[in-house]
Amino acid sequence: MSNIVNSDQDTHFFADVCANFDHAAQFTKHDAGLLDQIKSCNSVYRFRFPIRKGNGFEVIDAWRVEHSHHQSPTKGGIRYSEMVNEDEVMALSALMTYKCAIVNVPFGGAKGGIKINPKNYTVQELENITRRYTVELIKKNFIGPNIDVPAPDYGSGEREMSWIADTYATMNPNQGDALGCVTGKPIALHGIAGRREATGRGVAIAARECVSVAEDMQALGLTAGLTGKKVIVQGLGNVGYYSAKFLTEFGATIVGLCEFEGAVYNEDGLDFDAVFQHRKATGSILGFPGAKKEFTRSGEGLEQPCDILVPAALENQITGENVRNIQAKIIVEGANGPTTPEAEAIFYEKGGIIVPDMYANAGGVTVSYFEWVEKPFTRIIRPY
């Protein structure tokens, strides 16, 4: 059982992001109207389209939200998840605006969502869905190298980005920079070396910088530096896998890994890649031979002894309900919005440190900027 709570019935993610904004805004002298303008989502495009499935049709719900047009283009990933809803996409698009501002990349924030569980579709069906989604965005001017530039997010990756690039370039045959309509593309299709690893690498660097401050670590009863620090990572997808990889390279010990179906733990250390390969081969993180403990409730994995917890799956994972059981002293947010405001307040009361998402996971959009700024003025030569 996972502890996901972002269902259609429980959607306050955007309100949480706005509450954090209001909290920060009180320390500024900006006009209230201007702050309101910054906070709101500028454009919310909700649409539905049919695809053929089996002998019939299925209607897919989808979104693209452009939170802020203060910079062009707007930028942000596309989430493929059956739990996607409008509130979530709005919240994620707002986080993109603030994230881009923090790392000073010249984009407004945006985000997309396609309400499907990719595991329930064939590759052909996923391609159809992605291409149709792209066409819908083109029709409404919600995509383009200087308009709005998607990227990978939860449930999507290089393959989906290549379908988007190809669809956009096909429909804009005279646009020389068409491939700049999306980032996170495969290297062979004008992607950029390092984008795949970028978010996790950034998370690991953020953790390394955080623990380098000796006084802060002393206050937590820890020594400075990553060497010997015990880490639990939630999510073994793009962000979680590369966070674990680089944290290991920087000297930390991965003691726990949590996935949808459960969690594994070994206080002496887990080989994250062996766990990943085990999950790939068996379909489950459970049953990994190197684990000393395993939990069928994924959330229990978060509550095991460690110094640093890296939630790298979804929002609302550390809540008022489980935060008191979290033994980590530092949370480095790989996912967007993994800690609710209530949990955050309690964690700070306990004396913990949180390295926030919009800084910790900004490596992805930073390297996306490098990919985008190259703006390949290249036509795709197709054999058909």
Ligand X SMILES: O=C(O)CCC(=O)C(=O)O
Among the residue ranges 21-29, 174-182, 237-245, 287-295, the one whose residues contact ligand NDP (CB under 6 A)? 237-245
How many Å apart are CA 137 and CA 159, to the nearest integer? Answer: 18
Residue whose structure tokens are 């944290």: 247
Alpha helices in the chain (DSSP H): 13-25, 32-39, 86-102, 123-139, 158-171, 195-210, 214-219, 238-249, 272-282, 298-302, 341-349, 357-360, 363-374
From the list ligand NDP, ligand X, none, which binds 276 (C-beta under 5 to 8 Å, kind-based)? none
In this structure, are strands 56-66 and 148-152 parallel, antiparallel, or unpaired? unpaired
* Alpha carbon distances (Å) from 58 to 50, 117, 143, 262, 278: 5, 13, 24, 31, 34
**Please, what sign has the CA dihedral across residues 90, 94, 95, 100?**
positive
Among the residue ranges 101-109, 122-130, 161-169, 333-341, the one whose residues contact ligand NDP (CB under 6 A)? 333-341
Mask for 275-314, x = binds ligand NDP (CB under 6 A)? -----------------------x-------------xxx
Q: By CB under 6 A, tell whether 238 contacts ligand NDP.
A: yes
Residue 30, Cβ density class (10 Å: 0-12 exposed, 13-18 middle, ≥19 buried): exposed
* Least gap, CB of 44 to ligand X (angstroms): 17
Mask for 4-33, x = binds ligand NDP (CB under 6 A)? x-----------------------------
Active-site hit among 111, 229, 230, 245:
111
- In DSSP terms, 253 is beta-bridged to 230
How many residues lie near ligand X (CB under 6 A)?
14
From the list ligand NDP, ligand X, none, which binds 154 (C-beta under 5 to 8 Å, kind-based)? ligand NDP
Residue 104, Cβ density class (10 Å: 0-12 exposed, 13-18 middle, ≥19 buried): exposed
Q: By CB under 6 A, tell whether 76 contacts ligand X.
A: yes
Assess contact for 266 and 232: CB atoms under 8 A. Answer: no
- 119 is known as an active-site residue: no
Alpha helices in 157-296 (DSSP H): 158-171, 195-210, 214-219, 238-249, 272-282
Q: Which of 183, 266, 304, 317 binds ligand X (CB under 6 A)?
A: 183
The smaller minimum CB distance to ligand NDP, of residues 112 and 240, is found at 240
Residues 6+ apart with CB under 8 A from 251: 225, 226, 227, 228, 229
Q: Which of 109, 118, 145, 364 binds ligand X (CB under 6 A)?
A: 364
From the list ligand NDP, ligand X, none, which binds 235 (C-beta under 5 to 8 Å, kind-based)? ligand NDP
Q: Which of 186, 225, 237, 352 binds ligand NDP (CB under 6 A)?
A: 237
The smaller minimum CB distance to ligand X, of residues 253 and 368, is found at 368
How many Å apart are CA 308 and CA 15, to the nearest integer? Answer: 27
Residues 6+ apart with CB under 8 A from 14: 41, 87, 88, 90, 91, 94
Residue with the shortest CB distance to ligand X: 77
Q: By CB under 6 A, tell whether 235 contacts ligand NDP.
A: yes
From the list ligand X, ligand NDP, none, which binds 191 (C-beta under 5 to 8 Å, kind-based)? none
From the list ligand X, ligand NDP, none, which binds 76 (C-beta under 5 to 8 Å, kind-based)? ligand X
* Least gap, CB of 216 to ligand NDP (angstroms): 24
Mask for 83-112, x = binds ligand X (CB under 6 A)? -------------x--x-------------
Residues numbered 113 to 172 that lie near ligand X (CB under 6 A) are: 151, 153
Q: By CB under 6 A, tell whether 316 contacts ligand NDP.
A: no
Alpha helices in 287-362 (DSSP H): 298-302, 341-349, 357-360
- Please state the φ and ψ torsions of residue 46, each to the nearest 5 degrees: -110, 130
- Chain positions contacting ligand NDP, by CB under 6 A: 2-4, 77, 152-155, 199, 234-240, 258-260, 298, 312-314, 334-336, 361, 364
Active site residues: 111
- Chain positions contacting ligand X, by CB under 6 A: 75-77, 96, 99, 151, 153, 183-184, 336, 361, 364-365, 368
